[in-house]
Amino acid sequence: MNEGMIRSELSQAIRNRRTAAALLVGLAIAVIHVFHNLAPRVDVWNEAALNLKGEMEYPCHLFDEWMCGNTYNLEGFLYFMIFPLLAVFPYSGSFYNDKERGYIRQIYVRTERTVYLRAKFCAVFLTGGMVVTLPLLVNFMICAALLPALYPQELAGTFINASVMWYRLYEMHPVLYVVLFLGIDFVFAGLTACLPLLFSYYSDKKYVILLMPFIMHIFIYAVCMMSGRSDAVKYAPAYLTFAGSGCPSVWWLAGYMSVYFLLGGAAYWRIGRTEDIF
Q: Which residues contact 95 (CB under 8 A, 6 or more apart)?
A: 120, 124, 196, 197, 200
pLDDT value of residue 278:
61
Altogether, the residues listed in the chain come to a count of 278
Q: What is the pLDDT of residues 11-42, one digit of tens each?
A: 999 999 999 999 999 999 999 999 988 877 77
Residue of 97, 86, 76 lying closest to 26 (CA atoms):
86
Compute the mean pLDDT over every residue in the chain, rounded to the nearest whole number.
88
Q: How many helices (H) and strands (E) does the chain have?
A: 14, 0
CA gyration radius, the chain: 21
What's the whole-model pTM score? 0.91
58/171 Cα distance (integer angstroms): 14
What is the rounded distance in angstroms from the CA atom of residue 44 to the CA atom of residue 242? 27
Q: How far apart are CA 133 and CA 5, in angstroms?
A: 25
Q: Is the pLDDT of residue 51 over 80?
A: no
Residue 55 has pLDDT above 60, yes or no: no
| Angstrom distances, CA of residue 51 to CA of 42, 54, 61, 87, 151 | 15, 9, 15, 44, 18
Evaluate if residue 222 carries a pLDDT over 90.
yes
Percent of the chain clearing pLDDT 70 (strictly above):
91
% of the chain residues with pLDDT over 90: 55
pLDDT surpasses 60 at 125: yes
